[in-house]
Amino acid sequence: MASMTEDIVKQETLPTDVSQDQTQTVAQQPVRQGIARAAALAKEAEGRARTKQHAKGKLTARERLDLLFDTDSFEELGRFAGAGIVEGKAGSAVITGFGEVYGRKVAVYAQDFSIRGGTLGQAEGQKICRLMDMAIEMGVPIVAVIDSGGARIQEGVAALTQYGHIFRKTCQASGYVPQISLILGPCAGGAVYCPALTDLIIMTRENSNMFVTGPDVVKAATGETISMDDLGGGVVHASTSGVAHYLGSDEADAIDYARTVLAYLPANCKEEPLRYAFASGHAEREAAKRLATIVPDNERQPYDVLDVIRSIVDYGEFVQVQELFASSAVVGFACLEGRSVGIVANQPLVDAGSLDVDSSEKIARFVRLCDAFNLPVITLVDTPGYKPGSDQEHAGIIRRGAKLIYAYANAQVPLVTVVLRKAFGGSYIVMGSKSIGADVNFAWPTSQIAVLGAQGAVNIIHRRDLQKAQESGADVNALRQQLVADYEATTVNANLSLEMGEIDAMIDPEQTREAIAESLRTLSSKRRHRLVDKHHGNQPL
């Protein structure tokens, strides 16, 4: 094959008597040769990528895109931007373009670790920013596939500047189009804030790392010796820090989760989520019957709230978010009569479903996500209150717990709440109560709503009576039980809330799905409105 230089020389030395048609024919030769050379370089680059990535147990960037998108739907942009075809360089260290997920358009940029370690330089930053601009203009979700050594040292400040541009674009897109980050390799230093600004972060059990300062810097600065996985691996961020929203068993699992989440979200904040065909039948009736047996009458007896959720939603399908983090709360996506909804619930199996700093932030962020993208929020309440202790106070339960209040109080999507068993004190208020802005509130007949649980309330209200009984030699336990029973009958049950209008209806457990569905049908025409004219609120951070 003749070189591109030789072809150009042929153009420059054409005889003067060559016809116009002949000139056009000859002039096209270098283009064809260039295309052939570029195609050969691309093929060679993918072969090298497979060799390097597969040896580490990782897929190539293009193999990942094949898993993410519907078959043959990916259209690449700027394939050779930043390339040096004459020098034998196939392209930049990032792939950008558009494809389809379940038939809907999605933008993607995927870092290619096989090219300069996936590092980000000026060419890569410009490609990513151009893609994000197009995604915002088109109103389509953005998926980032991260596998990078960070900023390209050789380019210095020029590389760092590109991160600033990407940060700004990500903030502009936030709340307008869904943004999902797949961490399928290293992500360190300032680069971690690209995914941190997105809606969901998905990591894998192996090969996936995120940290601001790496193990070597940590050891130099503090003397601590720690591995990359223990410092910022997928397990750590999914279960301890809460940075990751899903931990994939492998890359295929992580990518499949991204596809699943995109099926529940609209393309942008101006659209409603897709409606899926659904016909209620025998399975839903049987599931409704099971609800009557799941929640024990004894408020101290635990149960799995996931059983309740799966008995309410379509086909029992529930996609959890942050399943391994702050597990006293459960959040995730489901469908009800074919419509996407967000589910928030207390989990009595963990700390009796009490709220703490982590579960408050977990719920708050999820409610904000649903509100941004028009998903109704269904809240299932069974909580004794906030988790007590100096560790919670010192960790900022006041500041961080206030985020939950801010999320519900500002949400303008349909809000439907069901009190399953107990809702005490401030936790009753913040978990989607009528006073904080919920549209429709239900309670099961055995539910308890009060400032304090009966045992605690009796110990405070009747402490003198109990002390006198003890001094007189009376049966203190019998008296306490009698006072508890009286308090439960007159104060703790949901009748007072029902009479005040804080609860719209008392429903049997078997009616829960239909009651929620009917409420969502009624609220389907609910529209957003601005209450006051302001730039934005100043929520606790």
Percent of residues, the chain, with pLDDT higher than 90: 72
Residue 47 CA to residue 446 CA, distance in Å, equals 64
> pLDDT for 149-204, tens place per residue?
999 999 999 999 999 999 999 999 999 999 999 999 999 998 999 999 999 999 99
Quickly count: other Cβ atoms within 10 Å of residue 323's Cβ: 17
Percent of residues, the chain, with pLDDT higher than 70: 89
> pLDDT for 200-222, tens place per residue?
999 999 999 999 999 999 999 99
Residue linked to tokens 């060559």: 18
Q: Which pLDDT value is given to residue 60? A: 95
Q: 13 pLDDT exceeds 60? A: no
* Inter-axis angle of helices 463-471 and 476-487, nearest 10: 160
Phi/psi at 165 (5° precision): -65, -40
Q: Which pLDDT value is given to residue 361? A: 98
Quickly count: other Cβ atoms within 10 Å of residue 459's Cβ: 15
Q: How would residue 38 be classed by pLDDT, with cut points 50, 70 and 90?
A: low
Q: 2 pLDDT exceeds 50? A: no
Q: How would residue 351 be classed by pLDDT, with cut points 50, 70 and 90?
A: very high
Q: 453 pLDDT exceeds 90? A: no
Q: What is the CATH topology of the domain spanning 34-264?
A: 2-enoyl-CoA Hydratase; Chain A, domain 1 (3.90.226)
Q: Which pLDDT value is given to residue 486? A: 75
Q: Which of 32-41, 117-126, 318-327 has the lowest mean pLDDT?
A: 32-41
- Residue ranges of domains in the chain: 34-264, 282-451+493-523, 454-491
Q: How would residue 37 be classed by pLDDT, with cut points 50, 70 and 90?
A: low
Residue linked to tokens 């009748």: 495
> pLDDT for 404-421, tens place per residue?
999 999 999 999 999 999
Q: List, in sequence order, every residue forming a beta bridge with 419; answer none if it has no partner.
A: 381, 443
Q: Which amino acid is at 221?
A: A
Q: 22 pLDDT exceeds 80? A: no
Q: 8 pLDDT exceeds 60? A: no
Tell me 490's DSSP state.
Answer: I
Vertex 518: Cα angle to 292 and 436 (nearest 5): 85
Q: 290 pLDDT exceeds 60? A: yes
* Inter-axis angle of helices 61-68 and 20-55, nearest 10: 90
* Inter-axis angle of helices 61-68 and 251-264, nearest 10: 40
Helix count (H) and strand count (E) of the chain?
21, 17
For residues 317-331, give the mean pLDDT.
98
Structure tokens at 291: 């609800």
Same fold, 34-264 and 282-451+493-523: yes
Structure tokens at 516: 């929620």
- In angstroms, what is the C-alpha Rg of the chain? 29
> pLDDT for 517-538, tens place per residue?
999 999 999 999 888 999 999 9
Pairing state between β 377-383 and 339-346: parallel
Residue 395 CA to residue 386 CA, distance in Å, equals 13
CATH code for the domain defined by 282-451+493-523 = 3.90.226.10
